[in-house]
Amino acid sequence: MKHEYDIVIVGAGLAGLRAAVEIGGDTRVAVLSKVFATRSHSGAAQGGIGAALGNEEEDHPEWHMFDTVKGSDYLGDQDAIEILTEDAPRAIYELEHLGVPFNRTREGKIAQRAFGGHTRQFGAAPVKRACYAATRTGRVILDTLWEQSLQKGVAFYDEYQILSLIIRDGQCGGVVAYELATGKLHTFHSQAVLFATGGAGKIYKTTSNAFASTGDGMAIAFRAGAPLEDMEFVQFHPTGIYKLGILISEAARGEGGILLNNDGERFMERYAPVIKDLAPRDMISRCMLEEIRAGRGIRGQDYLHLDLTHLGQAVIESKLAEIASFARTYAGADPVKDPIPVQPTCHYMMGGIATDADGRVVVDRAGTPFPGLYAAGECACVSVHGANRLGCNALLDTLVFGRRAGIEMQRYIRATGSPHRSAEPEKKDADRLRGLMESKGRERSGRIRAEMQATMMDKVSVFRVQDGLRAAVAKIKELQERYPQIAIQDKGHCFNRDLLDAIELGHMLDLAEVIILGALYREESRGAHSREDFPARDDTRFLVHTLFGYDAIRGPQIFTKPVKITRFQPQERKY
């Protein structure tokens, strides 16, 4: 079936919907999502969204900018970070006017709370900067933007999974999508496409991410010629529920929760004397693993305790309601009385599809745009998070850069004619699906996925070392070779998870390879990338972004580009 729009947005999380709200109305916009729109992972965001409103105590966008640059371990592009932090207050008031029900201060202003790495006066002490709606911040923003998109006449195609981009003469002109309920292929022709397809936490065994976070957009753009940037920087959030990875938001520590080791010691006081349990995530995750290695895990095992008991029932029930219920349901711990068992969990991709600050996908070091192709949100790398993202800055990124991508796409489609139509753009995908469905191989995608996830968890997570990375890349290559032998058991056309799992696995294997190659190349420790064989940051060799371009024959090809430094020169990062 064929469809025609001015702009196609893939992804109904906050980035996609913020762009849709910007351009809906006079532009024909379709939003495609492989899950029902409001089930996008953005809805799971708990803790908050950062902006220097100064509602609870003095704060300034410049302080927010500094914290983000320092948090990024000086790898974030400072021109883009300045846009992010300067635009943040506007983005929050806009949400307020659209109807987002934020928590309030006594005087009726938007309430704010502390979050990791956010400080006042350039690192002097934690500051309250996160705007929140209890622990359902993402949920309420997502619902509000969805409702606004419907009002603007945006067409939603829920449970449509895109398989490829339509590219003709180097210009992007739409997507090919698979309708989950029927197994039919659909072509969507458009003048511009925005990828807002979210993260890829499912590459790892333990993750806070949703089942849908399989990095499809990054992998599809990569194969279509868009480079991936800084993929080796994968964030592990310190407080996933032990063994499950389900997130206990940083808001728990923002409200005063503390981490304890088996001796009952608040160990973060030793590592980050100024901001302690509110140090950035990369640092706390490393410290937790150090404690576990030193035998101070709880009962000598590989987890620690997050203690909220001193906060009292009233604070826990009113400000941390969802996570209290997660702790009761999934950890069997009532946070009012018991500490919660936690360990680091794969949470966020700092890297992604290389873009500029207007959402244009860029293909080289000079910033040449890929005509008609845009990306925003977690699948994109602008780069505002550099080597480590601060809590509360991801939601902000989706809104600020989702909106900017919307504005830029509208400008682009007015200035550019429609791309040439390709004949039968869906043929390649139809052949691929048929190949998978008819394969007589003996492999199962579940088995390959489990091996990939275990390898990535074991060798490419918080700490990395050359031998381990080499073994990991060899393993991923082996899995890529086994991949074509996958046979699909389910021969049906209605919600064929077996088939979709195999397709998503192909994407994750591509991304896993790029993550490891980036990690091998970067012989230093910076932000979330910690090489035990190169424990220091090396600004002489590695104050650069790493990018990989797709090459079907030679494998991913690396190049680098400089980091934009405008106001804050790199310094040693201490908290």
Ligand X SMILES: Cc1cc2nc3c(=O)[nH]c(=O)nc-3n(C[C@H](O)[C@H](O)[C@H](O)COP(=O)(O)OP(=O)(O)OC[C@H]3O[C@@H](n4cnc5c(N)ncnc54)[C@H](O)[C@@H]3O)c2cc1C
**Distance, CA of 345 to CA of 213 (rounded, Å):** 14
Using CA atoms, how far residue 536 sits from 68, 451, 539, in Å, is 20, 31, 9
Q: Which of 47, 48, 39, 38 is nearest to 145 (CA)?
A: 38
Closest approach, Cβ 384 to ligand X, in A, equals 12
DSSP state string for 475-509: HHHHHHHHGGGB--S---SSS-HHHHHHHHHHHHH
Closest approach, Cβ 378 to ligand X, in A, equals 4
348 neighbors 238 (Cβ within 8 angstroms)? no
Q: Which residues bind ligand X (CB under 6 A)?
A: 10-16, 32-35, 40-42, 44-49, 137-138, 161-162, 196-199, 208-209, 212-213, 216-217, 247, 249, 348, 377-379, 391-395, 398
**CA–centroid distance for 317 within its chain:** 28
Closest approach, Cβ 324 to ligand X, in A, equals 15
**Distance, CA of 209 to CA of 345 (rounded, Å):** 9
**What residue has token string 């659909």?**
186
SS3 category, 140? helix
Q: Toward ligand X, which CB reaches closer, 291 or 358?
A: 358
Q: Toward ligand X, which CB reaches closer, 218 or 479?
A: 218
**Distance, CA of 136 to CA of 322 (rounded, Å):** 7
367 — alpha (psi -120 to 50), left (phi > 0) or beta? Answer: left
Helices and strands counted in the chain (H then E) = 16, 24
Which residue minimizes CB distance to ligand X?
A: 13
Closest approach, Cβ 524 to ligand X, in A, equals 26
Closest approach, Cβ 190 to ligand X, in A, equals 14
Closest approach, Cβ 127 to ligand X, in A, equals 16
Q: Toward ligand X, which CB reaches closer, 321 or 471?
A: 321
Whether 281 sits among the annotated catalytic residues: the reply is yes
**Distance, CA of 361 to CA of 382 (rounded, Å):** 9
Using CA atoms, how far residue 247 sits from 164, 256, 498, in Å, is 32, 17, 27
Closest approach, Cβ 284 to ligand X, in A, equals 16
**Distance, CA of 316 to CA of 307 (rounded, Å):** 12
Nearby residues of 554 by Cβ (< 8 Å), 6 or more positions away: none
Q: Toward ligand X, which CB reaches closer, 45 or 479?
A: 45
- 467-492 as b/e, with b when 16 or more CB fall inside 10 Å? ebbeebbebbeebbebbeebbbeeee
Closest approach, Cβ 115 to ligand X, in A, equals 8
Q: For 383-528, where are the E strands, in sequence order? A: 463-464
Using CA atoms, how far residue 407 sits from 17, 22, 110, 421, in Å, is 13, 7, 27, 25
Q: Toward ligand X, which CB reaches closer, 407 or 471?
A: 407
Q: Tell me the one-letter amino acid at 117.
A: G
**Distance, CA of 160 to CA of 11 (rounded, Å):** 10
Q: Toward ligand X, which CB reaches closer, 497 or 574?
A: 497
Q: Toward ligand X, which CB reaches closer, 10 or 543?
A: 10
Q: Which of 79, 98, 21 is nearest to 402 (CA)?
A: 21
Q: Toward ligand X, which CB reaches closer, 27 or 207?
A: 207
Q: Which of 18, 39, 253, 281 is catalytic?
A: 281
Q: Toward ligand X, which CB reaches closer, 221 or 448?
A: 221
242 neighbors 288 (Cβ within 8 angstroms)? no
Closest approach, Cβ 322 to ligand X, in A, equals 10
Question: Could you give the residue numbers annotated as active site?
Answer: 281
